[in-house]
Amino acid sequence: MRVVIAPDSFGDTLSAVTAAHAIGRGWLVARPGDEIVAAPQSDGGPGFVDVLANRFGEVRVAEVSGPLGAGVSARWLFDDRGGDAVAYLECAQACGLHQLGGRPTSETAMSASTRGVGRLLDAALSAGVTTVVVGLGGSATTDGGRGLVEALGGPQAAVDRLRSVSLVVASDVENPLLGEFGAAAVFGPQKGADPATVELLEQRMTVWSQTLSEMAGRDVSAEPGSGAAGGLGAALLALGGRRVSGATVVADATDQQKTVAGADLVITGEGRFDSQTLRGKVVAALTGTAAQAGVPTVVLAGQITLGAAEITEAGIRSAHAVVDVAGSVEVAMADAENQLAILAEKVARGTS
């Protein structure tokens, strides 16, 4: 049997590449005769660069400032296979939650900046690329991309710098910049913001959105995806960016459709399999591709909150949680790679 293993990352616990390796390792213990094809995926969030680098391109490193100003080494991907040079950037490499050095707080929510993403973008532009694809997700920031714009020299300088570059915003988040469903209200609490801080972040970005509108010549704050990565999406849209699905960018770049079509089974997964998963995330997109090819899909996730009926209606053969074999969330996270391999072995033993 040919098994395509194509997970997303498991939050901050496992990268998509590591998760794919763990699943494959466990599966082969039970079914050593199967052919395993590792095809890790991403929707633009953490792991975006590593997933693509697993298939093509040259990984480069830029020394930039992290979300709170400390220096970090940010990886990006340079690809010139088609003649035109393309850069793939991942905002979490420069302003990710995992770079805070501890739990997010209201103070970090207010202070975290996208300045490092601007430096990362500057490094790519200095390399002579003609297209820049920026993956959004996993950020600690809610600054509306102000840090990025300032790092590029300010509003007009940033616009001029990107005028001749094709800028692609890779994100599956559709939230606007402001309001009830905006960056501060929806994602601020996940980044440590208490209600009072959420209000301050909203006020700050409301003022900043006027500058973005002037840069773009239109109001970008209500556009789908402008609220992605704490409003970084809005700044990139104001700089001429074109929003596309991050999952689709990876699927196209890794020839996902052809890979899936040649499989007997697809295994995918993520850290938390819930209702958000079914709204265009990697697992849902991959399941759709597999269904079109007549290939069944199995999901392995850290935790599962969906009911059996919802899972079946989504076109998924079965779904299994790491926490069930680990016995607790604590063990599932502390020993994530091994526990995922154990789960994969268990599922494989029940597969005919």
Rounded to whole angstroms, the Cα distance separating 124 from 85 reads 10
Rounded to whole angstroms, the Cα distance separating 177 from 83 reads 36
SS3 47: coil
- What is the predicted pLDDT for the residue at 352? 64
Per-residue tens of pLDDT for the chain, all 352 residues: 999 999 999 987 899 999 999 999 999 999 999 999 999 999 898 899 999 998 899 999 999 999 999 999 999 999 998 788 999 999 999 999 999 989 999 999 999 999 999 999 999 999 999 999 999 999 999 999 999 999 999 999 999 999 999 999 999 889 999 999 999 999 999 999 999 999 999 999 999 999 999 999 999 999 999 999 999 999 999 999 999 999 889 988 888 999 999 999 999 999 888 877 666 678 888 888 999 999 999 999 999 988 888 888 888 999 999 999 999 989 989 999 999 999 999 999 988 6
How far is residue 346 from each of residues 9, 30, 36, 66, 318, measured CA to CA in Å? 21, 8, 16, 40, 13
- What is the predicted pLDDT for the residue at 23? 97
The closest of 137, 159, 138 to 148, measured between CA atoms, is: 159
* Domains of the chain as residue ranges with CATH: 2-41+260-349 (3.40.50.10350), 48-247 (3.90.1510.10)
Task: Provide the Cα torsion 102, 108, 112, 116; round to 10°.
Answer: -20
Size (the chain), residues? 352
Alpha helices, H only, the chain = 16-30, 48-53, 92-95, 106-111, 115-126, 146-151, 155-161, 195-216, 228-238, 246-253, 256-261, 282-292, 308-313, 322-326, 329-334, 336-349
- What is the predicted pLDDT for the residue at 126? 96
